[in-house]
Structure 1
Amino acid sequence: MWTLALRGGERVAVVAAQWNDAFGVVTRGRVQLELRDGEPGPVLGRDAGFWLRGTGVRALRNPGRRTARVRIATPGAGTVTCRSTHPRTPVTERRRNDMNSTNDTGIAAGPASGRTSHTRRLRGLAGTGFIATLAAMVATTLAAALARAVGVDFEVPDGGETIPLSGFAVVTGFFSVVGVVIAVALRRWSARPAQRFVWTAVALTAISFVPPLLAGADTATTTALLGLHLVPAAVMIPTLARSLRTRTV
């Protein structure tokens, strides 16, 4: 049994010949499993265990800033009896030392690759959010135009002003960007970003219903405003949640 220390952003490749049938337990920080196809796997917290046999894990990565530690147990490591060219050094001891050595390029790599991959995923999420924001703005504006065409005046009693179509686009764009920022933050710091994003977004959508209900507008305007709050939510929430799942699970 030996301990692997991962600095913030560091990635360590799993070499089958040296990690044969290994079992790991996270003793400090968080560790993300990188799957064989290059996609990031689940993020494991303290006291979480994982088995490498048949799981397709090809690397371990520290997604945080603080050093993470993993206790690795390899069955049979203490009973290796094959002969060595160094008779005074047991094979198991040399094997353990080789695994701990940062000079072994087979299992150790610098943190740059992990950080680059992480940055690329964040940029991909932001790009997806930008496209979803444009789609939400267009969908909401078209829905507002359709509502106005069937007779909804969108007149607010305070001051007797009518909400212009451009106002729907601006407000939708602003709050959609806020949603993207929340998604990026959760992707960076949360172990379950997709699930927590959905909870947060649904809660904020429910809170957004309060102003239309308190505005004192007529029934048609109030109903239309409530419906227009649901349009961008229906675009942004599934899109960002799907993007968070495909990059994290």
Structure 2
Amino acid sequence: MRTLALRGGARVAVVAAEWCDAFGVVTRGRVQLELRDGAPGPVLGRDAGFWLRGTGVRALRNPGRRTARVRIVTPGARTATCRSAHPCAGHRTMEDDMTSMNDTGLVAGPASGRARHAHRLRGLAGTGLVAALAAMTATTLAAALARAVGVDFEIPDGGEAIPLPGFAVVTGFFSVVGIVIAVALLRWSARPAERFVWTAVSLTAISLVPPFLSGANAATVIALLGLHLVAATVMIVTLARSLRARTA
């Protein structure tokens, strides 16, 4: 009997010979199965048991931040071996392959797992910042074009027109909020891309309400709605695509 410890964000490849006849039980945290094609599989919680023999699962991953632990039991103790009829024949079992330390466990990816996870988070944040700059540029140019064709962007309550730099500032602020949400979901969620799209679309829908309540003329309201959609499209598409690439 041994314990496999997966630190936050760590991933350990499944070697068929080692998992031949081995049974695992999640004793702490959550463990996600990575399927044969690299797609994310089910997430197993505490006390969930599983066999990997013949399933095609190629890796185990910890989708959370805290260390997850899997208790691994191999029937037949140290003398058990896989029979020649089994595809793992000729290899020693997990019990023989592990170290002689009794129940001290094997830590998967203690440093490399964290490093890869931190690299993914930094990569997502960098992609998000580039997208934010693109969204700021797009909304500012679109606002300038709308003003050129006669949209005054005047809000009755303030009595002043919204300046062009104001569009860039507001777009940049909410773009950063979107990046923070995406990074948080990548770190803590088992399905970050799907949840990000749902959250971002919901927040975008809410953001379309204020222009209708501003009291501005119809042209200004329509232009403001269009600018909201331009910024949201750039950020949601870019971040969702980046999240899917980093969880594949």
Where do residues 1-249 of structure 1 align in structure 2 (5 Å cutoff)?
2=1, 4-9=3-8, 10-20=10-20, 24=24, 26-33=26-33, 41-42=40-41, 44-46=43-45, 47=48, 49=50, 51=52, 53=54, 55=56, 57=58, 59-70=59-70, 72=72, 80=80, 95-96=94-95, 98-99=97-98, 109-249=108-248
Q: Check 1:30–1:153 CA distance in 2 against 1; reply closer, same or farther (3 A cut).
A: same
Quick one: distance in 1 between partners of 2:140 and 2:26? 49
Query: How big is the shift at 1:138?
Result: 0.8
- Equivalent residues of 1:30, 1:64 under 8 A apart: yes
- Equivalent residues of 1:61, 1:114 under 8 A apart: no
TM-score by length of 1: 0.78
Q: Check 1:95–1:196 CA distance in 2 against 1; reply closer, same or farther (3 A cut).
A: closer
Correspondence for 1:89: none
Q: Where does structure 2 lack aligned partners over 5 or more consecutive residues?
A: 83-90
Q: Check 1:141–1:94 CA distance in 2 against 1; reply closer, same or farther (3 A cut).
A: closer
TM-score by length of 2: 0.79
Query: How big is the shift at 1:6?
Result: 1.3
Query: How big is the shift at 1:126?
Result: 0.4
1:107-140 alpha-carbon deviations (Å, 9 max, x no partner)? 7545101000000000110011011101101111
Q: Check 1:129–1:101 CA distance in 2 against 1; reply closer, same or farther (3 A cut).
A: farther
Aligned residues: 236
Q: Where does structure 1 lack aligned partners over 5 or more consecutive residues?
A: 83-91
2:158 is paired with a residue whose SS is: helix
Quick one: distance in 2 between partners of 1:229 and 1:207? 11
1:29-76 alpha-carbon deviations (Å, 9 max, x no partner)? 222456789x7844623138573647361x433343433233557799
- Equivalent residues of 2:19, 2:52 under 8 A apart: no
CA RMSD, Structure 1 to Structure 2 (Å): 3.6
